[in-house]
Structure 1
C-alpha cells in the first residue's frame, strides 16, 4: 500500500485487554472503498477467503431485486414458508409451514432479523417452486457473483450458515455492496431499516452503527464461529458514500468500533490519486480461514463478557469509542407480517396461511386381502382360461394414490 493510503488502525490488529483477559490477536481482513470512484482507501488482506456468514444475504437480496427489475418477480410475489425452510436453525422468524408473506417483507426480514428460514423460503419461491428450485437459485447466486467480478466467492446456501464450499472475501463483499448501491438506488432504504415491528414484537437491526454513527445507511452483519464477527457497512456524508468491510472481529463491540474508525479516517481525506481500484485487486485461492477456536473458545467468551462489562460502565459510548454514541431516540421501525401477497397457482391472493401445507392428503388404504371384483363375461373371455377351467373373474386392486408433496 502506498504512503497516501490509509494505514490499518491499531485496533484492527490487536485485541483489547480487559480485566486481565486479552482478546486473542489474529489476522483479520478489511477494506474501505469509495463507492463513487471504486477506489480502495485502505485494505488488509482483503482478498483472503473468509466465511461470509449472514453477509451472504446481501447476494440473496441482489438476486431477488434483479428478478424484480427484470419482471421475473414482484414486490408482492408470494413467499411460502416450506417445511424445509421452517427447519433451518436460528436466527429465524419461526413462522409455521404454509405461512405466506410478500417478497418485499421477506427481504426486510432477512436484512434486519437475518432470518435463515425466510432466506430459504425466498430461494425456493424464486427458484421455480419445485424440487429443483433451491439449487437453481443458488446457481443464480454464483452466476451473479461471477458477473460482478467476485472471484473469491462461492455460495451453497442463501443464508450463510457454515457449509463446505461457502466462502467470500472482504474485496468481494465490497464489490457486492457497491453493486447494490449502484444498481438498485431506489431500494437503498432496505439496508438501513433500524427495526421491524411484527405486530407484537420489535426486532432491532444487528448493525450497531445504524443510528449511532453519523451517516450510516447500511448494510449487513454476519456471525458464525468460523468467521468471527463480520459486517458490511455503508455510510454517506456530504454526498459521498464509503463502504467498509470488516471480517473476523473478536466481538460485536470491536466490530462496531473498528468499522467506525475505518470510516472516520476515510471521510477525513479525499481519494488519493494513486489509490488502486477495487476491481483491480487480485483473486486468491485455497480454503477460507477458520477462526472457530479463537472465537468460540472459553477464553474468548470470557473476554467478550469482560468487554461488555467495561462497555456497560460507559453508557454514552457503549462501543468503547466516542465515534459510536448511545442512541437518544427510538429506532425507526418498519412493520412486517404475513399476508398481502398476490395469488400464484393454488395460492390465493392475500392468504396468510395455507392449511395443512406439505402434509400428505389421506388416501384410502387398499383392502387386504383384496376383495375379488367380478369381471364381465366378455372380459373373462378375453382373459382366456387358467389351466383347464374357464376364467370366471380376476382380482382388481388399486395402488394408493401418490402422497401430495410439500
Structure 2
C-alpha cells in the first residue's frame, strides 16, 4: 500500500528473529479463551510509536481513534466496548517476537493488528499461528506474509500487483527511465518486480541504483541517473527518502516526470514544490467525490483538522473489518478467524467492498489507483 511492505531490516535480522520465534512459539500456544461474555473487547496493536517509522504509527493512531469512536458509539461488539492494547515495536523484527508472545499469552486479546513492516510481521508470524491468534498485517504487501499460516491475514494489495500497475502507469509517460530503490529486502524485491514488468511493457531501465534508508545526500547517484538521459525517474521507497530524492533530483537539474514517494502528509510536507506532478500508487484520495468517502473525510477533518491519507485509511478500515468479523463469528479468537472465513462482504474506505480469497487470505479483485500530486494534494487521475 503505496509502498506497503515496509522494512529497513535485512534478511539476516529476520532470520534471527524467526529462530527466536520458533523457540518461543513452542510454549506460546494457548486455548481460545481470549474473551468472556461480558466486559471490554481488546485488540492488540504491534506497531511503531517511536523510531524511524514513528510517523506511520501516528497516522495509524488517528485512523484507529476515529474507528473506535464510531464502533463504540454504535454499541461496540454486541454491546461491549472495544479498546486497543498498543505495543511499540519500532517496526523491528527483534521486538515483534516478544510482543507476539505477550499478546498470545494475554487471553483478553482476540486478534492482533500489525506490524507496519512485512519483515517485522513475518518474524512474529510463527508465534501468532501457534498461539491461534489472528495476525492482521494490514500494511503488509510482501507476497510471503500470508503464507505463514491460517492465522496470517492481510487486506494489503501485494507488492507484485503494485509494481505491475506502477510499470503500466510509467509506460504511459516514458519509455526510458532511471530507477532508485531502497537498499532493503523490500526495496530489492520491489525493484525485481518493477524490472520484470518494465521489460514486459517496453520500458528501458537506463540506470538503476540502491540507496541507503538513512541517506542524506544521494546527489552523486542521481547525477549518474540524470546522465543516462531518462524521460522519467522512478523511486521505490517510502515518504522521507522519496522527498529527499525528488528534492535533490531538482537540485541536480532533472525536471522530468517523477514517480515515487508516498501518499502521506510527511512526504508532501518534506518534498514541497519539488514533487508537484508526482505520481504514486495509492488506495485513497480525499478528493474522491464518492459520498461515502466524503462523509469519512468530513469526520476525519472535524476530529483532527487535516485531510486523511492512505495510512489513516488502512488503520481505520482494519479495525472496522476485524469488528465486523467478530460480529459475524463471535468476539473470541476462533470467532475472528471464522468471521474472516465466512463473511462475504467487507466494506472499507480504501478498498471498497471486498471479500477474502480463502487460499491467499488476501482481498479478491482489488487494485491500486493512480494518484497525482497537485497543489499539495494527491488527487485521482482516474486510472485504477
Report the TM range for the smaller structure's normalisation: under 0.3
Structure 2 length-normalised TM: 0.23
* Bigger helix fraction: 2
| Higher RCO (CA 8 Å, separation ≥ 6 residues) | 1
Structure 1 length-normalised TM: 0.22
Higher Cα radius of gyration: 1
